[in-house]
């Protein structure tokens, strides 16, 4: 089962902790670091360019620096080719975030972009991850067109269409375990255990649905389906892109809803 993007976990957990820290309350940053790292090796940090701090060890040290700089929230961006919404600039930061497919932007304090660089190691049966957060000065918080209520409506409509779409894409002809995995994504446990306590119920609900949609897209994209004509293959790819677009936008809306009042 897919996990939530690390940037989504960082924004969901550390954003509220930074907001509390800015009000001189208990930070909770250590809990945020544990949640974001999960089973990864301890996350490291690389500072790129001219930044308001000179050194930084791991992720906890980075979050403490952000708290010191009065950063009061984190905003999630999940860009994709043809859909760069939310990217802040400059161009080299946008390119790195696009390559990663995710990044986090600071709210309040100096404008910074945190982009995860993920390296896998080990075997296919026991895979580990080395994660380095590359920190850049950015052009600001970027445009955020995500609305949670609209995202939930669009996402539910997409899910109602998903069964017909997947039948049309001939799920039965995929590798034998694909249909079972998709059924598990539809009805199995979602990512609620990965989320911080206190996240608004609507955000949890939308995030759960978005996670399921993106998981279905990931499974479908790993297989070409049955022997398709060029037209069928193109139509299949477009259907998957459309589902991914809806899922990404909804996930962003669910995470960023908590920092709207801080912007």
Per-residue pLDDT tens over the stretch 222-236: 765 554 667 767 777
On whether both 158 and 103 belong to a single domain, the answer is no
Q: Which residue matches tokens 């119920």? A: 201
Domain identity same for 137 and 13? yes
Q: pLDDT value at position 60?
A: 93
74 and 123 assigned to the same domain = yes
With a cut of 80, say whether residue 262 has pLDDT above it. no
Phi (first) and psi of residue 40, to 5 degrees: -65, 165
User: According to the model, what pLDDT value does residue 12 have?
Assistant: 95
pLDDT of residue 224: 59
Q: Do 80 and 134 have their domain in common? A: yes
pLDDT computed for residue 82 by the predictor: 87
Predicted pLDDT of residue 26: 44
| 218-253 residues labelled b (16+ CB within 10 A) or e (exposed) | ebbeeeebeebeeeeeeebeebbbebbbbbbbbbbb
Question: 123 φ, ψ to 5°?
Answer: -100, 175
74 pLDDT above the threshold of 70? yes
From 126, 145, 164, the end of a domain falls on 145
pLDDT at 44: 96
For residue 117, the SS3 value is: strand
Q: Does residue 260 surpass a pLDDT of 60? A: no
Residue 256: predicted pLDDT: 92
Q: Is 37 part of any domain?
A: yes
For residue 94, the model assigns a pLDDT of 95
> Which residues, at least 6 apart from 114, have a Cβ–Cβ distance to it below 8 Å?
7, 10, 62, 74, 103, 104, 105, 106, 133, 134, 135
CB 225 within 8 A of CB 170: yes
- Token representation of residue 152: 């939930």
Q: Do 73 and 113 belong to one domain? A: yes
Q: Is residue 109 part of a domain?
A: yes
Last-in-domain residue among 111, 145, 179:
145
Cα 172 to Cα 185: distance, rounded to the nearest angstrom: 16
d(CA 154, CA 249): 10
> For the whole model, what pTM was predicted?
0.88
pLDDT (0 to 100) of residue 145: 59
User: Residue 58 — pLDDT band, cuts 50, 70, 90?
Assistant: very high
For residues 47 and 18, state if they share a domain. yes
Beta bridge partner(s), residue 136: 113
Residue that terminates a domain, selected from 80, 112, 145: 145
Q: Do 181 and 245 fall into the same domain?
A: yes
Q: Are residues 154 and 135 in the same domain?
A: no
Q: 121 and 33, same structural domain?
A: yes
Q: Say whether both 154 and 140 belong to one domain.
A: no
Domain count, the chain: 2
DSSP 8-state assignment for residue 258: G
Are both 130 and 153 inside the same structural domain? no
Could you list the residue range(s) of the whole structural domain that residue 95 is in?
6-145
Task: Inform me whether the pLDDT recorded for 197 exceeds 60.
Answer: yes
If asked whether residues 205 and 241 sit together in one domain, one would say: yes
**% of the chain exceeding 90 in pLDDT:** 43
Output the pLDDT for position 219: 78
Report the pLDDT value the prediction gives residue 263, as an integer from 0 to 100.
45
> Do residues 111 and 140 lie in contact, with contact meaning Cβ atoms separated by under 8 Å?
yes
């Amino acid at each position: 089962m897919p996990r939530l993007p690390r940037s989504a976990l960082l924004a969901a957990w550390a954003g509220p902790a930074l907001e509390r820290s800015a009000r001189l309350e208990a930070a909770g940053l250590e809990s945020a670091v544990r949640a974001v790292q999960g089973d990864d090796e301890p996350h490291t940090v690389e500072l790129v360019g001219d930044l308001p701090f000179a050194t930084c060890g791991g992720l906890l040290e980075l979050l403490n620096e952000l708290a010191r700089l009065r950063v009061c929230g984190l905003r999630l961006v999940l860009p994709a080719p043809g859909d760069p919404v939310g990217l802040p600039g400059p161009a080299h930061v946008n390119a790195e975030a696009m390559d990663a497919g995710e990044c986090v932007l600071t709210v309040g304090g100096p404008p910074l972009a945190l982009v995860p660089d993920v390296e896998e190691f080990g075997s296919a049966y026991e895979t580990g991850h080395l994660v380095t957060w590359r920190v850049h000065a950015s052009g600001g918080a970027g445009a955020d067109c995500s609305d949670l209520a609209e995202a939930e409506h669009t996402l539910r409509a997409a899910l109602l269409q998903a069964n017909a779409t997947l039948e049309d894409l001939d799920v039965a002809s995929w590798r034998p375990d694909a249909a079972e995995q998709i059924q598990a994504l539809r009805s199995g446990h979602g990512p609620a255990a990965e989320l911080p306590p206190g996240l608004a119920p609507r955000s949890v609900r939308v995030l759960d649905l978005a996670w399921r949609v993106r998981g279905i897209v990931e499974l479908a994209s790993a297989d070409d389906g049955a022997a398709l004509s060029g037209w069928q293959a193109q139509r299949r790819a477009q259907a998957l892109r459309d589902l991914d677009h809806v899922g990404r936008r909804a996930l962003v809306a669910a995470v960023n809803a908590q920092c709207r009042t801080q912007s």
